[in-house]
Structure 1
Amino acid sequence: MANRFFTTLRKDDGSWALISPDGSEFFSLGVNCVYFPDNLSIDNIQSYGGGSEWYQRFADRKLEQIKEYGFNTLAAWHEKYYWGDPTPKTVELSLSRLAAKVNTDWGVGFPDVFCESFAFSIHRVLCDHFYGQGAVLKDDPALIGYFTDNELHWWGQGGHWGMNEPAKGAVQTNLVLDYIALPATAAGKRKWVSFIEGRYGTVDRLNEAWNSEYWEFNDLLGVSMYTADTEQYEQDKLDFLRLIADTYYKTTSELLRQYDPNHLIMGCRLVGASTPEVVLEAMAPYVDVVSLNFYTRYFPGKWLTKVSEITGKPVMIGEFSMCAGRQAGYLNSTNGAQNATVRDQKRRAELYAKFVQEAAELPACVGAHWFALYDYGRDRHGLIGNYGLLQMNDEPWEEFVEAVTASNRGLNAAPAAAKPIG
């Protein structure tokens, strides 16, 4: 049945599908970062004809290219120039970007969801979006939905993000330790102490449960670690993590729905396989699709199936990539490229084909988005690596792109996959 906007459907056999506004099933094959990159030279720019219209010719050509390669979605961080275009698209909002942080992991940090700056940040971002250029998206049937943030580290500072199952040795409640380490004036620290006081009522009961010797609950405010070594203390941290997650997802979803009640909410692009299960349980009522980013040579079907089972929602790969290192001239690749480095372009092509085929076959999966359009050599985030369909000189990696095109077109021709754009 046709709907005005993209929706999700759980079919009779238990599998999931995105349903496009025309009522057809749609498997989202996307490309991240379809934009004018830092790496292009002046000569590259001039190759689009110069003058004031060069950018339009550039942007039109990039959209044409990803269609030629068999992709059907503009994934996160594409040019706003494409907003209003009938191409299916997703948008990452970074709702917590202005909020106070409880850590600075990866230079981004995790928001203090109990601080008033968190809700303020969401409103500020949504006002900028919906009363700026993003206003065109509110009623756009081609918009699949929104990612609320990107790669929040639910395992806390310094954790491991895993590949196809939780990283061995990862501590589920490290994020709570980051909250505990906050100063006494921080909203998150005060929330933790009030949570503990509400749970135990008296400090004597707390001391008995934690094997501690505190005089009053306020003693917990001024220190960053506790003399607590019991299973009950671990359970308290786990339950507080659930509260953090419920607060994050409830606040982001309710405020986003105030501004746009129509489009899908697709989570915060979880990183790898180490998100604690209590976080997955807490997000379930608030998201339509669970998004996850993976940098691994192999499709993480085991973990994605588990995530879908826990949440009762479909899953989407928000980012994946395989990168040739030395063969492509990248000896010091950074971030995800280090976890997905392969020998050469032929191997990239083989693994890409296997990855997207397994994604399309997984009953829970409704899309897979490649990172990225271009290689990275000196962008503002410091990324280095052979992430791209295109080289930094604006030329495609021919062997890789030919194989990607064949894989994508094969999926687009399948009965349960998307029809090609255009």
Structure 2
Amino acid sequence: MGYFRIGQKDGRYLFFDGDNRPFYSLGVNCVWNPILDTPGTRSVDLVRKYGGTDRWHARWAEEKLRQTASWGFNTLGAWHEKHYWGNGIPKTVEIRCSRYAKKVNHEWGVGFPDVFDPSFAASIHKAMLECFYEKGEALLKDEGLIGYYTDNELHWWGTGGKWGSNDPGEGYNDTHLVDDYIDLPADAPGKQAWVAFVRQRYDTIEELNRAWDAEYAHFDDLLYIGVYRADRDVLEELKRAFLGEIAQTYFETTTKILRMYDPNRLHLGCRMVGTGTPKIVLEVMKRYVDVISVNFYSFDLPLKWMADVHRLTNKPFMVTEFSFCAGRSAGFLYNTNGARKVIVKDQKRRAEAYKNFVELAAGLPYVVGTHWFALYDYSNRSGLIGNYGLLNADDETYEEFAAEVAVTNGRLLERIIGGGGMPEPREWEKDD
């Protein structure tokens, strides 16, 4: 069995499948059963609609696959149903390596892991086992599996930073994440790693005091302090270097453990969000990932930033989330998260925005795909709310939007790789 790889053809980056056919990824995120995600928000009975308790879920899944293919998509993006594992359809999988690790902050309810804590490696192993246990056997044998994301939207800019849309501003050198490590208690591995890092830079506490213009009695004093008396420029240089250590530990650990479970598939990164990831992190990241994956909620793309990052990393980009949401006209007076930045007036305008965005992305020779968020609208009062979907909460298609998306996707694939949507799914059977 062959595996997807990254290559170039006629001056542009592309995926190439196991048979060496060029592939440009147009995906949909969250092709999953929405019943439990948005309880009490739909009037349609999906169990009854798709044939009763015995077979309804399989029929639902087959119909959603047919629909996404009819709209010109050729990839199941992150967070799709495990029902599809083993069927040969191109797909990407997010493992969420940091899910169970101790955190240095709790931004957006996700938080950034203390990568120096033993719980970090344990979290990665637990997430891997959850992914590859039982149905994961089919995933490992799936010829359509493109690769894995190790996390989603890690906040490399820290609590005090900004994720950025089209202009990173100071984000190129943002060290607020290091401030989060410095704020940890003295017994936290992340705080101890920081102080050990500082000690490596100075032979004695007197040397540190001269460099910092400080008066500390012992290096261990730094364990119990969250705000330092120190020359700003000297401290910032140290913080930037330590941010590199954080990134090195994150990518080295996640990559090593991922390769224990699957050494063959592409490493699709940690799904950055916006332009806020500092340059030092990108310099480390390039040594481990095959693709720079990033989520954008904007009407265009940060072209200068993307060009700079591509020159720095020599890696292709994939836009792993984007969306445009009608507000009032789709019944959403209240919207959360990314939807707030991309509200449009109606479904026709959604289609126009979709076309403009994916064509802009496809015009960049280092972009290998765009993944739409998401299959369904969200109306969960404890989570997302907004007209993200190709389908509403009652499993009804936004026909005007979806029809134009299908036209756009078809033309785009024809232009880039000469056509080609989703292949026919195959049934997976265990070996005897």
TM-score (norm 2): 0.93
Work out the CA distance in 1 between the residues paired with 2:298 and 2:27.
17
**Equivalent residue number for residue 430 of structure 2:** none
Unpaired runs of 5+ residues, structure 1, are: none
**Equivalent residue number for residue 385 of structure 2:** 384
* 8 Å Cα contact 1:211-1:230 kept in structure 2: no
Greater alpha carbon shift after TM alignment, 350-359 vs 142-151: 350-359
Greater alpha carbon shift after TM alignment, 129-138 vs 356-365: 129-138
Match of 1:23 among 20, 23, 45: 20
Match of 2:265 among 254, 263, 278: 263
- C-alpha deviations, 1:108-153, integer Å up to 9, x for none? 1000001111111111221232233212222322100000000000
Runs of 4+ in 1 over 4 A off after TM superposition: 167-171
Is the partner of 1:273 in helix, strand or coil? coil
* 8 Å Cα contact 2:24-2:416 kept in structure 1: no
Q: 1:67-146 counterparts in 2 under 5 A?
A: 67-146=69-148
Q: 1:321-400 counterparts in 2 under 5 A?
A: 321-378=323-380, 382-400=383-401
Work out the CA distance in 1 between the residues paired with 2:328 and 2:169.
28
Greater alpha carbon shift after TM alignment, 165-174 vs 251-260: 165-174
Work out the CA distance in 1 between the residues paired with 2:389 and 2:287.
36
Is the partner of 1:368 in helix, strand or coil? strand
Is the partner of 2:137 in helix, strand or coil? helix
1:254 is displaced (CA, Å) by 1.1
The alpha-carbon distance between structure 1 residues 212 and 155, as it changes in their structure 2 partners (threshold 3 A), is: same
* 8 Å Cα contact 1:299-1:359 kept in structure 2: yes
1:231 matches 2:233: yes
Work out the CA distance in 1 between the residues paired with 2:162 and 2:346.
27
**Equivalent residue number for residue 212 of structure 2:** 210
1:295 matches 2:297: yes
1:229 is displaced (CA, Å) by 3.2
* 8 Å Cα contact 1:209-1:230 kept in structure 2: no
**Equivalent residue number for residue 5 of structure 2:** 7
**Equivalent residue number for residue 403 of structure 2:** 402
Greater alpha carbon shift after TM alignment, 75-84 vs 168-177: 168-177
1:61 matches 2:63: yes
1:51 is displaced (CA, Å) by 3.2
- In structure 2, what residue type is equivalent to 1:55? H
* 8 Å Cα contact 1:28-1:367 kept in structure 2: yes
1:201 is displaced (CA, Å) by 1.7
Work out the CA distance in 1 between the residues paired with 2:186 and 2:418.
53
Work out the CA distance in 2 between the residues paired with 1:131 and 1:275.
33
RMSD: 1.6
1:32 matches 2:33: no
Is the partner of 2:386 in helix, strand or coil? coil
1:64 is displaced (CA, Å) by 0.4
Greater alpha carbon shift after TM alignment, 140-149 vs 411-420: 411-420
The alpha-carbon distance between structure 1 residues 188 and 168, as it changes in their structure 2 partners (threshold 3 A), is: closer
* 8 Å Cα contact 2:268-2:293 kept in structure 1: yes
1:396 is displaced (CA, Å) by 1.0
Q: In percent, how many aligned pairs have the same letter?
A: 53
1:171 is displaced (CA, Å) by 6.5
TM-score (norm 1): 0.95
- C-alpha deviations, 1:293-327, integer Å up to 9, x for none? 11112133332222222111111011000111122
- C-alpha deviations, 1:42-99, integer Å up to 9, x for none? 5243221223111111110000000000000000000000001111000000011111
Work out the CA distance in 2 between the residues paired with 1:339 and 1:417.
34
- In structure 2, what residue type is equivalent to 1:188? G
1:258 is displaced (CA, Å) by 1.2
Is the partner of 2:321 in helix, strand or coil? strand
* 8 Å Cα contact 1:389-1:400 kept in structure 2: yes
Work out the CA distance in 1 between the residues paired with 2:130 and 2:345.
44
- In structure 1, what residue type is equivalent to 2:347? Q
Unpaired runs of 5+ residues, structure 2, are: 424-432
1:164 is displaced (CA, Å) by 1.8
Is the partner of 2:179 in helix, strand or coil? helix
* 8 Å Cα contact 1:323-1:341 kept in structure 2: yes
Work out the CA distance in 2 between the residues paired with 1:265 and 1:174.
27
Work out the CA distance in 2 between the residues paired with 1:302 and 1:319.
19
The alpha-carbon distance between structure 1 residues 283 and 81, as it changes in their structure 2 partners (threshold 3 A), is: same
Work out the CA distance in 2 between the residues paired with 1:268 and 1:208.
39
The alpha-carbon distance between structure 1 residues 398 and 85, as it changes in their structure 2 partners (threshold 3 A), is: same
- C-alpha deviations, 1:21-60, integer Å up to 9, x for none? 1212111000000011134445243221223111111110
**Equivalent residue number for residue 195 of structure 2:** 193
- In structure 2, what residue type is equivalent to 1:356? V
Work out the CA distance in 1 between the residues paired with 2:43 and 2:83.
21
* 8 Å Cα contact 1:374-1:392 kept in structure 2: yes
- C-alpha deviations, 1:198-239, integer Å up to 9, x for none? 111211111122121111100000111111233111000000
* 8 Å Cα contact 2:173-2:240 kept in structure 1: no
Work out the CA distance in 1 between the residues paired with 2:162 and 2:331.
28
* 8 Å Cα contact 1:289-1:313 kept in structure 2: yes
Work out the CA distance in 2 between the residues paired with 1:362 and 1:147.
22
